[in-house]
Amino acid sequence: MLQQAYGEDCLRHTQCHEWYQRFKSGRTSIEDDPKSRRPSTSMDDDRVEKVLAVIHKNVPRGETVNKEFYLNVLERLRAAVGRKRPEA
């Protein structure tokens, strides 16, 4: 009923129930609990160097990594996976 009245801006029934249980058990804040996140590892210097080394090893000198090159690599990967995992 609330979702019909307020649309996307309304909490779902399960979310309402979860918050009710939290307040019933003594919670006093409406703020979300802090989330523990894994540290980002995608852009550290070591990883960037490894990616650049793979690119220099596999991309012929003077070749541009464009859409066609990328699609060719994906096709070769698909074929390699197909050879390792043939369809049953």
Asked whether residue 73 is assigned to any structural domain, the reply reads yes
Could you tell me if 51 and 24 lie in one domain? no
- What is the pTM for the complete model shown? 0.34
Domain count of the fold of the chain? 2
| Domain assignment present for 34 | no
19 φ, ψ to 5°?
-65, -40
Domain region containing 17:
1-28
Please state the φ and ψ torsions of residue 85, each to the nearest 5 degrees.
-130, 75
Residue 11 CB contacts under 8 Å (≥ 6 apart), including other chains: 2, 19
pLDDT tens by residue, the chain, 88 residues = 677 788 877 888 888 889 899 999 999 998 888 877 777 667 778 888 888 888 888 887 888 888 888 888 889 888 888 888 877 5
